[in-house]
Structures are given as C-alpha cells and as structure tokens.
Structure 1
Amino acid sequence: MSRARSAQPDPRATLRGGLPDRYLTPDDIAAIFEVPKETVYQWRKKRIGPPGFRIGKHIRYDPVDVHAYVTNRKAADQDAA
C-alpha cells in the first residue's frame, strides 16, 4: 500500500484564486512568474523585482507586496502603451 504524497498547491493557482496565507519563497516567486530562481535573485540584487525581506538567512516575500508589484507593473505598461 503506497502512501499518498502531500502535494502543495501550485503557487500560481493559489495567487490567482486569492492571496496565499503564508510568506512566499524564491522558489514560489520563480514558479509564479515562470522564471528561473536565479532570475528572482538577480531581480532582488538589482532591486527591480517584487520586494522581499530576510528572516535570518532566508528570503521571503509578502504576497500583498507581490500583488502590489504586479499591479504597479501592469499600470506602468498600460501608461507606456
């Protein structure tokens, strides 16, 4: 008898359906935006991506900040068009 694996929901689907109730990891951000994790780290280094913060040696992202970042990017793209 095999044990069922506890699969985490796809972060992109969670964000579309509503903000997750946890802080996001760089892996989550990479999955949401469909980019390599290294790109997420480059965004942070260049200060051009969603704002993150450190908890010890770990980087986390507040889903509210990620949503605001996307909203601002969409508005900037519409203004440029």
Structure 2
Amino acid sequence: MDTTTQLRPTFLTQRELAELLRVPERTLEDWRLTTTGPPFLKFGRHVRYDVEDVLTWAREHRHG
C-alpha cells in the first residue's frame, strides 16, 4: 500500500452523513450552528465530514 492511499480521507456530504446517522439533514445543520455535532470542513460553501472524525465523535457520545 503506498502512502497516498494511506493518507486519503473519505469525505461525506451532509446528505450522506444524514443517511448514515439516520437523522434529518436539518439536524446536522442545527448541530453545526450549535457546535454539538461532528466536526466538519468547509470547502468554499460546501460542507464535508471526514468519516474518521464522525466515527470518533460518535464513540465519544456512546452511552452505557
């Protein structure tokens, strides 16, 4: 495996993340405004979520 493959993150759109988490897209928008959701990136006006950041955030919010 070359280093390019190892360093290539996977970015999700808002729609893709909403489907993955099974929440409305509006919930993700609210979480961004209140900074309570997973970390996100902005590329111009485009919001993207790094899968690794989302998984880390989800683990931090695990109960039990």
SS at match of 1:61: strand
- Give the aligned length: 56
Q: Which has the higher contact order (CA 8 A, sep 6+)?
A: 2
* Structure (1 or 2) with the larger CA radius of gyration: 1
If the length of structure 1 is used for normalisation, what is the TM-score? 0.65
Q: What is the percentage of aligned positions where both structures have the same residue?
A: 32
If the length of structure 2 is used for normalisation, what is the TM-score? 0.80
Poorly superposed stretches of 4+, deviation over 4 Å: none
Larger strand fraction of residues:
2
Q: CA RMSD in A?
A: 1.1
Counterparts of 1:22 and 1:30, CA distance in 2? 15
Name stretches of at least 5 consecutive residues in structure 2 with no aligned partner.
Answer: 1-8
**Pairing of 1:2-81 with structure 2 (within 5 A):** 22-74=10-62, 77-78=63-64
